[in-house]
């Protein structure tokens, strides 16, 4: 769930991009970016907390993932394609 959905605000394609970034984070890190006991606590983290970015990631991957996981949708990539392309170029 994107931060805007957790805050009951309007969602658009950038919400999907945030969700894709959460899945990519889990694939790269081997753990979810937000973990807590109980759904309400996880939703609150999605809305308010910044994920811990693993230190073993390259600076390029860190930059891309931070942007994709921004709380403000205006600061994220404009599309899932743009996010995936940026992540691909970090290789």
Q: What would the pLDDT profile of 22-33 be if each residue is shown by its tens digit?
A: 999 999 999 999
CA distance 64 to 25: 11
The per-residue pLDDT for range 51-73, each reduced to its tens digit, is 999 999 999 999 999 999 999 99
Q: Are 36 and 91 in contact (CB under 8 A)?
A: no
Look-up of token digits 């899932």: 80
Between CA 70 and CA 3 the distance in angstroms is 9
pLDDT of residue 20: 94
Is the CB of residue 78 less than 8 Å from the CB of residue 15?
Answer: no
- What 3-state DSSP class applies to 34? coil
Q: pTM of whole model > 0.85? A: yes
Q: DSSP state, 67?
A: H
Q: At what angle do helices 80-88 and 59-68 cross, to 10 degrees?
A: 170
């Amino acid at each position: 769930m994107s931060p805007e959905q957790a805050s009951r605000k309007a969602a658009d394609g950038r919400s999907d991009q945030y969700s894709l970034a959460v899945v990519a984070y889990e694939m790269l890190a081997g753990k979810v970016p937000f973990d807590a006991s109980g759904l309400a606590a996880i939703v609150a983290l999605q809305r308010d907390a910044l994920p811990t970015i693993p230190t073993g990631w390259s600076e390029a991957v860190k930059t891309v993932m931070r942007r994709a996981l921004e709380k403000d949708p205006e600061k994220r990539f404009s599309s899932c394609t743009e996010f995936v392309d940026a992540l691909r170029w970090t290789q």
